[in-house]
Structures are given as structure tokens and as C-alpha cells.
Structure 1
Amino acid sequence: MSTAAQQTGGRTSAPTAIIIGGGVIGCAAAFELSKAGYACTLLDKGAIHQEASTAAAGMLGAQVEIHQPGPFYELCRQSQEIYKAWIDELEQIGGVTAQYIGKGILRAALTEEDELELRSRLSWIQNADWMKPEDMRRMEPELSAEVRGGLHFHADHQVHPVWLAKSLGAAIVRQGCRIREWTPVFKLLTEPGTGRICGVQTSEGPLYADIVVLASGAWSPALTGPLGIKLDMFPVKGQCISVKTGAPIIRSTVFTHGCYIVPKLDGSYIIGATQAEAGFDKQVTVKAIAELHGKAAALLPRIEEAEFISSWAGLRPGTRDGLPYLGETSELPGLIFATGHYRNGILLAPVTGRIVAQIAAGDKPLEDLKPFSPMRDSAKATASL
């Protein structure tokens, strides 16, 4: 009998799950587990959706942000394929729009080097067409005259990160998920005699469940390290700005090396995003914002006329090999890993939630999770000895 069942006196009841981390990945896991019949409790050390989830523009860039073929690209494409149906389900259950926009992304080259890199993707990329400079400016007349051409990723859509967070939050609340903000988790609890993860120690005492999902982003290594699982993760600060114009100057998302400009339904644009390994520092810096503004203006000159709205920073969970940690391990049974998504948490939310639910049900995930194994860092360390 599980620890969670013991707490109910052995009564037959819904299986229970604790999700550590209130970002989009944690909420997606809670959404899919709740659909599968789990009674979920979602924990966050602060308010939910305050880190990587909102340090984003909401691009569903399965094509534009991936630079090589392989398992990660396939995982991103699978998530992209189910995204619209997933959003429709979220909105139907929760009643809150995620502001899904299906306008595609124009990835423009401003230098010869960038043009060559983009052309090299044509041999393997899907859902993308090469466009001449005049064709790009025909689609988006305000693009710079310096554009050398680029790729049109017509399947790379977008959501608004803040409204996606609200939509997810409303949906899981409607499903009965209990959200406990400002409840940090200090350690994972193990079942005596088996070593199975059976709960968590929080600032308010222990909590127990049949399964625990680790979705705490850059803070994940602190929980697995004491139990012998090293996750080679680190926070990557991303800074963004928001501006607004009196009338729209672009309809599609436009993207160049080091900068993207994403138009939103309220007439604003999110411009991002920097990348810096700066520990857990979330300070917004003038230098980073100035660099973003300069790159945006080089691609879309009229953005200089826009009204400045706000700036912010969040911490993305980076990994040394650029891959998330997904799945389970025999070393820590009862724990499901769903962390380390770096810049792709919003894109990968649907497929990650589905994977978590499949593992919880004892089913073999449809995706090959070997490349994303939580034990891959330990295996590499052993092989190097």
C-alpha cells in the first residue's frame, strides 16, 4: 500500500500526484494527470508562472529555433502538431483564451553568414519555404531593405505566454487541482525499505502522493542531487521588452539572429530575448535592453517609433547538451522528470504533459525518451572514466 493510501486509511480513492513547479510544464503535467483521474497538488516556491514561462514571447518554434535534425527536433514537431487541439481543450475546460495566433514566422537573414546557415536547413527542415527579399517584404512591407531573404515557417505559430498561463491555471483549477503557491519543497521523501519517492518535505510539513513530478526548472538539481542523481542544469537569464504602436506594422512574427519581434492581439510586440548564464540574478539591465532594441530596429526600422511598455527577466532551465530531462529512472521510482526545457517549455508543454500521464499510467510513451534520460549525465561521467 502506498503512503498516500495509508493516509486515507486504505480506502480506494483516486490516485494522487504532487507536481513540483508551477510553470507551464508543471501545469501541463497537472492538466494531463487530472484528465487521467489523478488528484493533483501543484506546489511552487513563489507565485506560479513567474520564471521561464513568462520570460518568453510564446513562439511555437518547432522549426525556426531548431538548428539540426534529431530526436529533439522530432519531439518539438510532435508537440507542435497537437498544439492547436490542446489549446482548444484548455479553453473549453477553463474558459480562458490562450490567444493562439496562426500567422507563421519569417526568419530573415541580415548577413551572408546567417543566410548560409538558414539555407543549410533546407535539406532536412519541414514546413518551411525559402523566400527572396522582395517576397519577404511583400508579406511584411516594413522589413528592412537589408534583408537578404530567409525562411517562412508557416506552421510555427504562437500563443501569448501570460494568457497561456492563465488558460492553464483556469483549466487545472476546474479539474480540481489544488495549487499551493509560496510553498517551497526542500527535499524528496522516500518510502522506507523501497527507496520509492513517496512525497515531498515542504515549508509547511510533509506531503505524500502516489507519484511526484519534478518540473521545477533550474531549481531541480537541488532536489535530486542529495539522492545521487546529478542533473547538469543551470539558470539562463532571458530579458525581454514589450512595446506598442498606434497601428500594426507587422502581422507575422519576424525573427533574425539574436532577436525576434512577436505581435500580440492587443497591438503590443514582445521583443526578445537575451541569454546569459548569470546565476539566479533576475535584474533587468540597460545594456541588454539596448542591444535588443538595436537588433529589432535593424530588422524592423519603424519599431523605433513604438511606445515602450515594459521590460522583464526570467530564468530558463538550461542543460549542457540542450535537451530536457524526461521520463523516470529505476534509481528513483515514483519520480517523473519533466524539467530542463530551456527556451522550449511553452512549445513542449502538450507533449510533455502527455508523456507524464503515459508514464503515470504505466504505459510506454509513444516518444523515444532515451535521448532525454535523467541518467544520461551519470552515464557520460561513467563512460569517461
Structure 2
Amino acid sequence: MNTKHLTPSAGRPKAIIIGGGVIGCAAAFELSEAGFDCTVLDKGRLCSEATTAAAGMLGAQVETHHPGPFYELCRISQGMYRRWTDALEHTGGVSTEYIAEGILRAALTEGDEQELRSRLAWIQDARWCTPDELRELEPALSPKVRGGLHFPADHQVHPAALARALKAALVKQGCTIREETPVFRLLKDTRSGRITGVQTAEGPLYADTVVLAAGAWSPALTESLGLPLPMFPVKGQCISVKPQAPLTQSTVFTKGCYIVPKADGSCLVGATQVEAGFDKRATAAVIADLHARASALLPGLADAEFLSTWAGLRPGTRDGLPFMGTWESAPGLIFATGHYRNGILLAPAAGRIVRQLALGEKPLLDLAPFDPARHLNQPAPAL
């Protein structure tokens, strides 16, 4: 880390994290562990957007459809997860409700079966199961399953419990949390070009390092820097239902639907992927569709008690890759945004990468594919 940017009065480097979702909180946790004096700013409440649209699956395998840098990032983060949640729980004293049960990705159609089988050429830590083998693992599955993949290492946490654990850990670390505090713009030193802080309704705040983890709201802050981020909100709606008795131990997943059993006997069913701007309304049609899809895979859910529904906005990117790293035209700013529906899974790796960049260390993996300015160098599409 370049020590000339430290704040002399405090003796500790200061960091501002814009965005109090799971990625922003993970970055604050790692930076606090490294000795930074952290402030987390969120326009609303902590973990109230994309995190609320999550089921808590740590699906490094099940939700990745081809090999490449994103798959490697997912696997790295998954490998860090148990130790990371242990550290959160030790620091804050609040459980993340980590459940070490795998995921069954079942096929109900011939096309889906073919797509799943095609992954066997490159995917790791997975095995193909016949219909009988799937139902031996989870007898409540539909007799119509055609086989599928078993991912024993794709575990889960409870999103709400993880949010509580993160907040408790940050409080214990002495991190300042400022909810209902939107950031209007980034502050830039006119001579050096360095990002030195943020402007809020209550005035400017200054820091040695600023982390952009504002999810779908990130482009509004980079536009003035000359860096338009091609991001957009994707609404994800979930439902929670409760059968009379637990139906599965594992998370079960099929095309268009996943069912995640929770410790209280409920099942979280999700999730939609709709580009609807910043509309967060939960709709009755989605409730009916998700329930129908879930019941097709687990017939025992047909008469389950309906508990609740909710929606959150995930930060999508046009190429499906998050923006992580730095930009030479804005020193002092670290990007950690655009993780779409994988924010919970990627939180440990994203937080560690932010810490490494802030300290001037080599990151966990090559960040070139996640370069925040990668789209600036792409050729314009042919007319």
C-alpha cells in the first residue's frame, strides 16, 4: 500500500465502501481485518437489495454453464467459504446458518438432460446420477426426473442469517455503518486524478481508499469519471413455503426453479430473472409460476403452506462477468460490483480481492477478464 495516502491524524488508513450488500460488507470485513478504518454507506438498509433476492446457494458448479474465468472465480470463493463463515461467526457471534448439504440438479426434459450431460466434459466435483440414484438420494423427487448431476460441495447459507452475521462482525470490528445515506458522486483530486472520497447529503467524506460495491446503482457514480458501466438491474422474486414435514435435505434444482430447504422446515423457491428497471414489486403471477415449477420437481410441495414472497434487484452485466479491480484513470477507487445472482457465493473472494488491491498485493487470480474498463477497448459492432 502507498503509505503517503494514509490519514496522519488517525494513524490508520481510511476506507469508504459504497454499498452495504453482501459484497460491500465482505469488503469492509476484510479491510477492517487488515487494519483499515472502514465506513459502509448504503442508500437504504444493509443487505436489502440483491441479497434479499438470493436463496443462499453456494452453487459454484450448478449455476455455471461453461468453463472459464468466472467458473474459476466461483470455485476459489467456494473453497474459502467455510473458513470465512467461521471467521464471521467468531468475530460477531452470530450464526450464518451454514448447511453442508449438496445440490441435486435434476433434468425433467430431454433437452435439459442433454445440456447437463454436456457439462461432464469440464465440470469438477460432480457425478451423473440415474433417475433411481437421484431418488435414492432424495425420495421425494418426481418420478419424472430423467437423471441429473450431484454436486456434493455446493452447500448453502441462509441469506438473512448471513446478513445478520456480517453486520454483527462489522460492528464488533468498529466499522461505521451509515444506512439511509446515498452517495451522490465521487470526489476527485483535480491535480492527481485520485478518488479521495464521496459526496453525501450530509457533506463530503474522505478516505484513502473508496470501494464501489453499489450493485445496480454503480453506473450512476462512474459516468462522471468517463466510465459508463454496462450494468442493469434484474428483478429476482422468490417465495417461501412450508410443507407439513421436510421433503429433502439437499437443495434440488431444475431448469427454471430451485428449492432450498432451510433449518426451520421451510423451503425457499426461486427465482425469476426479469429486466424490469428498478421495479421491485412482487407479483401474484410469479408466485403461481414458481409454485407450479417447484411442485413439478417436488410433488409434495403442491399443498405446502404459503409463507411469503419478496423481490430484490440483482446487478447484471452484459457479458455476465462482474467488475473487479482498479482503473488507471481513477486511482484510489476499487471496483467490486456486478456480481449478478452470485453475490453470496462470491463474497469471500470479492472481499479478499478488495483487501489485496488496497494493500498493493497480488490478487487471488488474474483480474483481466473482470477489468472495469474492458468494454472501452471492445470494437464497435458492425452495422
Alignment of 1:104-253 (within 5 A): 104-253=102-251
**Bigger shift: 21-30 or 285-294?**
285-294
8 Å contact from structure 1 (residues 190, 199) kept in 2: yes
Deviation at 1:12, TM superposition (A): 5.7
Distance 2:327 2:145 in 1: 48
1:47 alignment partner, one of 45, 48, 59: 45
Deviation at 1:383, TM superposition (A): 8.9
Alignment of 1:92-111 (within 5 A): 92-111=90-109
8 Å contact from structure 2 (residues 243, 300) kept in 1: no
* TM-score normalised by structure 2 residue count: 0.97
Aligned residues: 381
Alignment of 1:307-318 (within 5 A): 307-318=305-316
Q: Which amino acid aligns with 2:306?
A: F
SS in 1 for 2:124: coil
Distance 2:382 2:181 in 1: 39
RMSD (CA atoms): 1.4
SS in 2 for 1:152: strand
Runs of 4+ in structure 1 deviating by more than 6 angstroms, as ranges, are: 1-4, 382-385
Distance 2:174 2:32 in 1: 8
Deviation at 1:380, TM superposition (A): 1.1
* Aligned residues with identical type, % of pairs: 67
Deviation at 1:246, TM superposition (A): 2.5
8 Å contact from structure 2 (residues 187, 198) kept in 1: yes
Q: Which amino acid aligns with 1:329?
A: W
Per-residue CA deviations over 1:347-383 (Å, capped at 9, x if unaligned) read: 0000000000000001121211000000011111569
1:287 alignment partner, one of 266, 273, 285: 285
Pairing 1:60–2:58 present? yes
SS in 2 for 1:305: coil
Deviation at 1:11, TM superposition (A): 3.0
Distance 2:382 2:24 in 1: 33
Distance 1:152 1:120 in 2: 14
Distance 2:328 2:196 in 1: 14
Residue 362 of structure 1: aligned partner: 360
Deviation at 1:305, TM superposition (A): 1.7
Structure 1 unaligned segments of length 5 or more: list them: none
Deviation at 1:59, TM superposition (A): 0.1
Residue 29 of structure 1: aligned partner: 27
Residue 343 of structure 1: aligned partner: 341
8 Å contact from structure 1 (residues 3, 191) kept in 2: no
